[in-house]
Each structure stands twice: as structure tokens, then as C-alpha cells.
Amino acid sequence: MNFLRRWPGLGLFGLGALSAAGLPPVGAWWVLFITVPLALTLLGEAQARPFWRGAVLGWCLGFGYFLAALHWIGFAFLVDAARDLWMMPIALGGLAAFLALFWAVAALAAVQMAKRGLALWLAAPASFSVLEWLRGHLFTGFPWAVFGQVVDGMGGVAQAAALVGMTGLTLFLWLWPASLLGLRSAAKAERAAAAALLLTLPALYAWGEWRLAQNPTAYQPGIMLRLVQPNISQNDKWREGNARTIYDQLLSLTAAPPSTGQPVTHIIWPESSVPFLIDESEKGRAELARVLQPGQTLLAGAVRRSAPTDDAQYFTSILIINGKAEVLGHYDKWHLVPGGEFLPLAWALEPLGLRKVVSLPESFTAGPGPSTLPVPGAGNAGMSICYEAIFPGAVADPAKRPDWLVNVTNDGWFGKSAGPYQHLAQLRLRAIELGLPAARAANTGISAVIDSFGRVTFASEIGTTGAFDLALPQSTLPPLYSKESDYIPLIVLVLVIGLGVSLKRM
């Protein structure tokens, strides 16, 4: 502890980096019970310093955390290293530094509240949770690696997402470790409050395990999905001359005999599965028609354009295609990846040599928003593409509840890093929050089926090729969070602040 006090900025950087071990795939959730109390202790000692001291220390904590939690983003710059590698430290370091600003503001607010008598162990979880919510909404939003995602490794605790969502879980994952400091308070009432809050952890775990035991996975009759995972290297994906080979592989996997003895009814291809505009290719759709069986439906991740003109807009989409290879409808991605599918502040960054990672002459255009679309033979589907699955409340149209969730992605950019595991964990939370099953097709893993309670009934390996035939789980009744969204976490947050004010007056 003496070293941490002597070099608090460096110490907080290390504590932040260590906290990232709580996220998938490591899942060492217990590490937060070490790092958070130590970090808050150092922040508490900043109360006697200039007001900006807390912000600087909070930034150091956040910079270490986001640098470690999001290190896998660097793998995308290795796909075309000759062109992009030089941008890696700028992009990764710049992103971590920017996201850490949210923690700087949170720490500043927490320290200021503590100066006014509110216990830091209550003020900090409240302020950090609010700023994490803002991080998920401001500047297009990027709610990746919030503490709430740590529940992926906490068993039944994850079921609390049905009550309070990822936002509420983030508050709890700050509050539970911080409560250890409350147990050391000289005030009896404060110790009692900390103990009561800590007891909600085993209580939610027990409730979650009971909920899972009472609701075994049930499946939709008459629906057999095929998740196609072509495992195409990003080095080969857009290389000129590879389109024929890639399409032949997709057709071969689509036409493979059923592996379960039941006929395949719905096939899902991953994001941007074909390196050409399949909806405009008569030859491509004619070949597809020879492969699809009567009554089958294909949900194909594909690039499409608004019109065959020079000023056309390009979309990354999911095409709904029937057994005759006719396009029945489409969903357009609306949460685009900054720096991947569009370049923020392109007018300023392009002259510096910075560019999008995805090689298209123009940026993609955002779609209209979350949509619920009819899928022949499978009811209505809420569709999302790639990182859209990380946004609570944004994977389905709130005005029209779907019957299941479809997510297509291309995590091939990130190899066998932590990225694909963290991505899948967030889709699990969406399934629990909405009480809906989810089917996910990835280019090179992790393709998966998740039931409406977040159980992963199947998950493929990264780096494998296959056509996986799987039953679709049934949905459950809409959970509380799906109806009230972030109002419930807001109520919990107000109660936490109210508790702190009450203890202050005692």
C-alpha cells in the first residue's frame, strides 16, 4: 500500500488493468473485491488535494482498465499490417484515453461528494455507474467492458439482468466491492448498511440459480437452424479473385445434409458473408436457388447498396431470402462501428493518413434503427449486426416485441483474442434482459445459440469451419427490465444516494 500511496497514478493504472481480468474470457470477478476497495482508498486520500487531483487519478484508473479490457482491438490492425499497423497505438491508446475521461469525471464527482460528507464507498459506485451509462449513449455510445459484463462468470447472478439490466448490474458490481470499505466504518449504521448491501450478492445468486432450475430450456417445434461458419481469413475476405472460392464454400456448407435427422428450415450466414452484392447478382442468386430447399429461408449477412449508381449509399445488412432465392426484405445496421465502418471527423483525420479499417471507397450509411421483421416459418425476429448486440434496449424494436433475436457478426478481425468472448457475453445479457432466445452466426466464431435465460446451448470454436444444425429455444414472458428498461436501475441508484444522505445525517 505504501507503493500505491507514493505513486498513486501508476498504482491506479495497474489496479485498473487488473480489474479487466473480471471480464470474459478470464472471468475472475473476485478481483474487483481487491482492486475497487484499493482504488477508492487512493481516491479518498485525494480529498485533501486540489479539486482536479481526483479527476487525474480517476483517469489513470480508467486508462489502465480500458487499455487492458480493449487490447483485442489491436488485432484488427494486424490483418493488413503493412497498411494499418502504425495506426494501432494511436487508435487503441486514443480510445482508452478518451474512455478514461468518463472515469475522470466520475472520480471527480465522487471525491467532491465525499468532501461534503457522503461516504465515498456509496458516492463512487453512484457516480461511476452514471458516467458508464453516459458512455453507452454519448457520441454514438460504446458500452463495451462496463462492470456489469463481469456477471458472465458469476453464475446465477447474471439472471439479475432480467430485473435491472446491464446498467443495474454495473451499479451492483461497483457497489459490492466498495461495500467492503463500508464494513470498516466507525459508524455502526454505516457498517450495517454495507453488510446489507453485500448480502444482496448471495441473495441474487440464489434467486438466479433457482430461476434457472425452474425454467429448463424448451425448444420451438418445427424450426431447425443452420449456423454457417465459413472461417474466412480477413486477409482473404476482400482479396480480388477470392469471391468465387468464398461463395462456393458458403453454398457447400448451406447444402450439406442435415446432421440431426431433422430438415433444416432456416439458414444464417454471418456478417458480410459474400464479397459481392448478392441481391444484384442474377447468377449468384440462381446458384443459390439450386442449393436452397423449398420452404427454407436464408438470413444472409451481406453488403447492399441503395441503387446501382455512382452516388449510391452502402449498407451492411441482413437479407431475408426465400427458397427461390428471392429477397423478401432486409435489415440495415444502424449502429456503425467508429473507425471501422465510418471515420469520425473524417475531414480532420484523413489528411493525417488515418482511415477506416474496412476497405470500401465510401463509409457505410446507417439504417433507420432497430426493427422487428417477419421471417417465414419462424415468427418475428429482432435483428442486429456485429457490435449492435452490445447496446441494451437497442437489439429489438421496443414497440414490437420479436419472438427471437438474430445476430450476425464477423469477429475474424480479432482472432483468438478476448474480443469474441466478450462479444458473445453481451449477447447473453440481451437474451436475459429481453427473455428472448438468440441465434448468432459468426465468420470464424463464436457462432452460438442462447436460450431466453442466457444459457448458451451451443457455441462453436474460434477458427473452425462448419454448418451447425441447432434447435431454436422458446421465448419466455417479458422480464421486468424488458418493460421498464433503465427506469429500474435509476430507482436503485436513487435509493443508493438516498442511503448515503441518510447515513450522513446520522
The residues annotated with a catalytic role in the active site are 271, 333, 386
Measured N-to-C along each axis, helices 282-291 and 243-255 cross at an angle, to the nearest 10 degrees, of 20
Dist CA 471 CA 27 (whole Å): 28
The set of residues, in sequence order, having a beta carbon less than 8 Å from that of 381 and lying 6+ positions away, is 299, 372, 373, 374, 375, 402, 403, 404, 405, 406
DSSP string, 450-472: E-TTS-EEEEPPTT--EEEEEEE
Contact 220, 471 (CB under 8 A): yes
CA–CA separation, 163 vs 185, rounded Å?
30
Question: How far is 182 from 118, CA to CA, in rounded Å?
Answer: 12
Is the CB of residue 190 less than 8 Å from the CB of residue 119? yes
d(CA 496, CA 110): 13
Q: What number of CA atoms fall less than 13 Å from residue 448's CA on the CB side?
A: 26
The count of residues in the chain is 506
CB 444 within 8 A of CB 51: no
Task: Give the whole-angstrom CA distance, residue 360 versus residue 342.
Answer: 10
Decide: 32 and 16 in contact? Cβ < 8 Å.
no
3-state secondary structure of 498: helix
Q: What is the DSSP letter of 265?
A: -
| Residue closest to 125 by CA, chosen among 91, 172, 166 | 172
Query: 33-37 — which CB contacts under 8 Å span 24+ positions?
Result: 33/176, 33/177, 33/180, 34/177, 35/177, 36/174, 36/177, 36/178, 37/177, 37/178, 37/180, 37/181
Handedness of CA 287, 291, 293, 296 (dihedral sign): negative
Q: What is the CA radius of gyration of the chain?
A: 24
CB atoms within 10 A of CB 307: 9
Q: Which residues pair with 303 in a beta bridge?
A: 316
Torsion angles phi and psi, residue 149, rounded to 5: -75, -10
Q: Which of 335, 332, 354, 352 is nearest to 343 (CA)?
A: 354
Alpha-carbon distance 143 to 166, whole Å? 10
